[in-house]
A and B are shown apart, each in its own frame.
Chain A
Amino acid sequence: MSAVPVQPVSPGAASPGAASPGAEISVQVQTLDYFFGQGDLRKQVLFNINLELHRGQIVIMTGPSGSGKTTLLTLIGALRSATTGSLRVLGQELVGLGNRQLVEVRRNIGFIFQAHNLFESLTAAQNVEMAVELTGNLRQKRQRATAILENVGLGDRVDYKPAALSGGQKQRVAIARALVNQPQLILADEPTAALDKQSGRDVVTLMQQLAQEQGCTILMVTHDNRILDVADRIINLVDGRLESDTNPQQFVEAHTVKSLDHNMFVM
């Protein structure tokens, strides 16, 4: 694979990250390093990450396992605390924030996980209502939960428990939960990994559509090549470093067998 041409990361004008100058910046990462462990076991997993996500963009993050994608995602999601560099999310600097403040930041972010992580004991609507309750809006929570579930095409499954829903339906409930408070930033980790082709396609189309309606930024980690086309931008993380930052066409061209020299396969 060393033959694959890699675009160097340049936060400059050539990067698709700056394709719409003047657009509002949802996430701004500057010279971010991150380490796991302490003492002798201390291991650096992220190296000098510089990244800007603009409002309304759908950004897909790819890269081999262990490349630090999920770590970066959890840092942006205020699920871990960053200690070096700068990490601005929705206008708030996260570096140096305390636990309580991080919880506050998380309330403005929608999370979608590989596993749906729904409470089996709650119905679809109640699972979504758990998110609405965070806003303190108890009066309209049921109404809002039902509305968003209708939006994701589950209007007739509102009072079903997860056990009675298919994998795709469960993931759609999880998406409804992530979107119900109309967050400005959505972070998704392999949202289609557990789904078949059609359900996976439905889920990303839904995310795309809702992102357009609500104007929110989506950062999605995925290995699923079938859904790359929804992205405005694809960033590639290798060994904790940003290797490329391209649009889908360039990415597909760079990563598909077609573009490779057929001599590679000649013995």
Chain B
Amino acid sequence: MRLSWRRSRRRIPLAWYNLRHERSRLLVAIAGVAFAVLLMFMNLGFLGALINTTTNFYDQFNGDIFLVSPQSLEISSTKAFPRQRLYQAAGIEGVQRAMPLYAEYALWKNPETQISRAMFVYGFNPSDPVFLMPELNTDAARQALQQPNTTFIDRRSRPEFGPQTIGLETEADRRRITIVGQYALGGGFAADGTLIMSDQNFRRYFAPRPLTQINLGLLLLDPGTDAQRVQATLRSRLPADVNLYTKAEIVRKESQFWIQTTSIGFIFGLGVLVSFIVGTVIVYQILYTDIRDHLREYATLKAIGYSGGYLFKVVLHEAVILALLGYVPGLILALGLYALADNATAGTLPMQMTLFRVVFVLALTITMCSLSGLISVRKAVTTDPAAVFA
């Protein structure tokens, strides 16, 4: 009884009834919107993962302030600068420890397939707590790293690099190398795999490169020190051949590098745009067909006294219903594919759904469908009510 009372107080949801009446067309429309939603999520997901991978290894870097050459673009394309700067920085009040980090690409030979592939190599002084990964912070690990021609290997390296068994021997840059440990770091878009070795071994593999030229300087501050104040002091003392960043700043700088100055950010941005357009066209097709099929009925509504504004609302209502109905399966599919992509890249491409993205794509979807509604609605609104008598 209560239901019928409620039903009778409400206006007839013509938009919903019209959509529901053509089941198969509704399903096609939902599939189309879901597909567009999925494409947008995937593109944004890749873009987000890219941002994440350029930053997430910094989470494992034990530094409060980072010294980088002004000519460095991102971690894998750095310009080395004098180690001297690190010693100068160490003398500033509030700086507890100054640590160098070396980085280069080496050719790693897969011991099973004999195929060599570029591996990103970090070199550090094993007595410095440069990395936060627990595997590297044991006495045994430091001991192992100090042996000649040894390395730790990243578990998140692509499987093409071959087995990661401890004790395995292969070649890096035409020199024997033995795996003595594993860690999990991830190389982002710049590296398919990473190695971490001692500075002494780094010197061996990348001779004649001297250890006096470093790629990254990490400064640990005394607890409770204001990083920004130390940064300002450092800035006033150090020459212009180094830039100083807090962790948040270097993370933001590298994200911007990837998004703004490489084609990667552009590609995924374009991907989102194309998905948006595809979705708009699909929804337009559906709405247009629906309007065309109901033109006489809409003209009748106008003839009996409904205004063009009412028809406008009906079409827009249909558009929003399609947006919401397509969004849900799109989101579910996207979550599934995120997990799949995460698996396929062994966690090196961390596809994570964020609340921002959920809301952003929902807004894009509603905009997309409303836009289609606006394009197709003209035909309904301008219907000549006299046409029903023709």
Contacts and interface: CB of A to CB of B under 8 A. Distances in A.
B304 A177 contact: yes
A216 to B, nearest CB: 15
Interface stretch (A22-30, A82-90, A103-111, A253-261): A103-111
A103 B10 CA distance: 23
Given A117-B388, A121-B21, A142-B7, A79 B301 contact: no
B303 A111 contact: yes
21 contacts: A79-B385, A80-B386, A104-B305, A106-B385, A111-B300, A113-B300, A113-B389, A115-B388, A117-B296, A119-B294, A120-B21, A121-B20, A126-B12, A129-B12, A130-B301, A131-B304, A134-B306, A139-B9, A141-B8, A143-B8, A177-B304
B111 to A, nearest CB: 67
A187 B307 CA distance: 19
Contacts of A173: none
Given A117-B300, A119-B294, A74 B389 contact: yes
B209 to A, nearest CB: 75
A21 B146 CA distance: 120
Interface string B1-38: 00010011111101001101100000000000000000
Top 4 A-B pairs ranked by shortest CB distance? A121-B21, A107-B305, A117-B300, A79-B386
A210 interface: no
Contacts of A134: 304-306
Interface string A64-82: 0000001001100101100
Nearest to B22: A121
Nearest to A69: B389
Contacts of B304: 106-107, 110-111, 130-131, 134, 177-178
A180 to B, nearest CB: 10
Given A103-B305, A138-B10, A119 B297 contact: yes
Interface of A: 70, 73-74, 77, 79-80, 100, 103-104, 106-107, 110-111, 113-115, 117-122, 126, 129-131, 133-134, 138-143, 177-178, 189
A138 B9 contact: yes
Given A106-B385, A115-B388, A178-B304, 5 more contacts: A74-B386, A79-B385, A106-B305, A122-B14, A139-B8
Nearest to A143: B8
A120 B8 CA distance: 20
B8 A142 contact: yes
B390 interface: yes
Contacts of A107: 304-305
Contacts of B4: 142
Interface of B: 4, 7-12, 14, 17-18, 20-21, 294, 296-297, 299-307, 384-386, 388-390
A2 B155 CA distance: 102
A121 B301 CA distance: 14
B270 to A, nearest CB: 39
A159 to B, nearest CB: 12
B378 to A, nearest CB: 16
A79 B297 CA distance: 15
B389 A122 contact: no
A75 to B, nearest CB: 9
B18 A121 contact: yes
Given A107-B305, A117-B296, A138-B8, A130 B14 contact: yes
Nearest to B296: A117
A130 B12 contact: yes
Nearest to A174: B300
Contacts of B18: 119, 121
B313 to A, nearest CB: 13
Report which residue of A103, A106, A142 has the largest number of chain B beta carbons within 10 angstroms of its beta carbon.
A103
Nearest to A107: B305
A255 B305 CA distance: 37
A119 B9 contact: no
A147 B28 CA distance: 39
Contact of B303 (A77, A114, A139): A77
A70 B304 CA distance: 16
B358 to A, nearest CB: 32
B44 to A, nearest CB: 36
Nearest to B388: A113
Given A77-B303, A130-B301, A115 B296 contact: yes
A117 B297 contact: yes
Contacts of B299: 117
B303 A189 contact: no
Contacts of A126: 12, 17
A126 B18 CA distance: 12
Report which residue of A74, A100, A104, A143 has the largest number of chain B beta carbons within 10 angstroms of its beta carbon.
A74
Contacts of B297: 117-119
Contact of A70 (B20, B302, B303, B389): B389
Given A111-B300, A111-B304, A131-B304, A119 B17 contact: yes
